[in-house]
Amino acid sequence: MERNSLLIITFFVMIINTVLSYKGTTPGLICGNCGKTPVPYPLSTGPNCGDQSYKVRCSAGTLWFDTKGNSSYVITSISPQIQKMVVKTPTLYPNTCLSSDFYSEGIQLDPNLPFNITGSNTILLLNCTYNMLHLQAPINCSSTCICHPYVNKIQEFAACRRQSLCCIFRTGGSQNEYMIRLNSNGCMAYQSFVGLDTSLPVEKWPQPGLELMWQIPDPPACKNEVDCNVLPFSKCLGDPKNPGKKRCVCKSGRYWDAQGYCQKCRHGTACKIQRNKAPLIAVAVVSVLLMLLGGFLVHRRYLIKRRTIRLLVKEREEILSANTSGKSAKVFSGKEIKKSTNYFDKENLLGSGGFGEVFKGTLDDGTIVAVKRAKPGNAKGTLQVLNEVRILCQVNHRSLVRLLGCCVELELPLLIYEYIPNGTLFEHLHGFRLREWAPLSWLRRLVIGHQTADGLAYLHSSAVPPIYHRDVKSSNILLDNKLDAKVSDFGLSRLVELSESENTHINTTAQGTLGYLDPEYYLNLQLTDRSDVYSFGVVLLELLTSKKAIDFNRDEEDVNLVVYMKRIMDQDILKEVIDPFIKEGASKVEMETIKAVGNLAAACLDDRRQNRPSMKEVAEELEYVIGIVTGQASKS
């Protein structure tokens, strides 16, 4: 009898456990398996299950994810708890370096649907054109990029070894949230890896795949209580996000888990976790101990900081004095500079670049100065500021910004130079309307170009040792009250040491600004004076057209000004893209000089550096053109 009673009790306990553990779902909400693969909510393989905004396709027991352009990708894994899935990347067309989705321009998600590409993917772009060299970071297309060892190791990508340029980037951000784009003007194949550790050898890389994620779905919509039979333990109530609409809302004591269930709350009917309160005495004791420890650490940190600053000042003074054959810079006190800039008040901020900030300051004697400092926490920027002091101590030219001194006793080293009040050439060409400036005339543009070229020619040919600027661009050309040019920002500049002067180039890491960067220098890491000539050629194009070096508002194939202008010149239609302000009303002679400067820019931008003119030759040519415009050139 007792045994029968025990069996009956056990039977009822099993029933109760089954009821309590019942998650509450019906086939109408969760789709059935696709082959052996479960299809979790909200993914939908048919019109009568899942959420219709989250459609996937089940074909012959395999799940597929369809995208724009009629491309489809096999789903290899799904993680419903974190709303993510991985799709298989496309194969290559046989014996080519073309991805099989190339003709649909790569993978393109519909931004109106709740799917997007996660930030966990490392993308290898293959079979790329040189247009990719002009794109901004984080795309890396250097010769040391890890895409090269990948194609060399993986036999399936053997056809890609013939292509010299490939790139790599990490997804994340608005530009690749919905697409990995392929086209004949960029890259024509790709491979993707989820959570790739690029420090590992290729043999230890994970299987290729592209991770996607979906937005957390809302509970099912409803019109009445009957509609909520698909979601047990719910009732049809108003949607707080969309007034006038209703959704199946989980009843009290349960919560929507975004996977098709009304789960039972673990911590009471309101799903709130009750927190234990620690004894007040223990809290007080710990607080006192932490305060004492904190005071000790603050004092110790203060002593360490003082010692570190003394060592930094000594180290910086040694850096500035090393290999310096020119004059030494005047050393300003930190107190004087902080006072002059009102403690680096943002109201005095003139501009900010990749590694430094420039503030306007007024010294005690009334001299207005520009104070440059590295950005806080940027060690590379600190070295660039020190390098700029070393460079400017070597030079003295009317078209180069004049160094007044430096300050090395603060946490961040400071560079103090003459204040140039009239903005940059970039602002005058591309933002003059915002400043209510008059557009630059053709003659003034020629003078600015000549002064810039003359300053750079001095660095290359007259400075001892020679100096390569490495970051020539319109935003680094300042204009004074008379609109005369002053070349600035020598943070990336490179002194040519005596041991290197016999060589045709310097091997160094490629640095500069994309859009102005010499492609040959970028690929081969060989720096020469002709790298500055290439960058100056881009500035000449800006002077001619008033168009930006990189502008994503232009058509895709015309984003890069050099690529765009080479096509224009090949078609012999330069006149059509000249800035209307200098073209309208120009005399026949002026139009001839405009054409001559266009030809000079093309020579500066020659793909082979040995075919480019020297900076001195460029300056002489511009001086001759100015003579023609002013009517002072020799008639012969």
Residue 371 neighbours by CB distance under 10 Å: 25
Is the separation of the CB atoms in 477 and 448 below 8 Å? Answer: yes
584, 419 Cβ separation under 8 angstroms: no
In a 10 Å sphere around its CB, with 0-12 CB exposed, 13-18 middle and 19+ buried, how is residue 514 labelled?
middle
Q: Is 471 a catalytic residue?
A: yes
Q: How far apart are CA 593 and CA 600, in angstroms?
A: 10
Question: Among all chains, which residue has been given the structure tokens 């927190």?
Answer: 275
State phi, psi for 41 to the nearest 5 degrees: -70, 140
To which residue do tokens 């290559």 refer?
92
- Contact criterion met (CB below 8 Å) for 109 and 68: yes
> Under 8 Å CB-to-CB from 128, ≥6 apart: which residues?
141, 163, 165, 166, 167, 186, 187, 188
Our separate counts of H helices and E strands in the chain read 14, 26
β-sheet bridge partners, residue 246: 238
Q: Quote the tokens at residue 176.
A: 């690749």
Give one DSSP letter per residue of 566-590, joined into a string.
HHHHHTT-GGGGS-HHHHTT--HHH
Token pair, residue 425, equals 């050439």
Paired tokens of 108: 């393109």
What's at 539, amino acid-wise?
V
Residues belonging to the binding site for ATP are: 372
On whether the CB atoms of residues 126 and 151 are closer than 8 A, the answer is yes
Instruction: Give the Cβ contact number of residue 396 at 10 Å.
Output: 14
Angle at 52 between CA 46 and CA 57, to 5 degrees: 45
Contacts of 424 (CB under 8 A, 6+ apart): 474, 475, 476, 477, 478, 479
Q: By 3-state DSSP, what share of the chain in percent is helix, strand and coil, each rounded to 5?
A: 40, 20, 45
In this structure, what token pair is assigned to residue 352? Answer: 């900010």
Binding-site annotation: residue ranges? 372
Active-site residue among 51, 471, 532, 579? 471
The torsion defined by the Cα of 548, 552, 558 and 561, in degrees rounded to 10, comes to: 20
- For the annotated catalytic residues, the residue numbers are 471
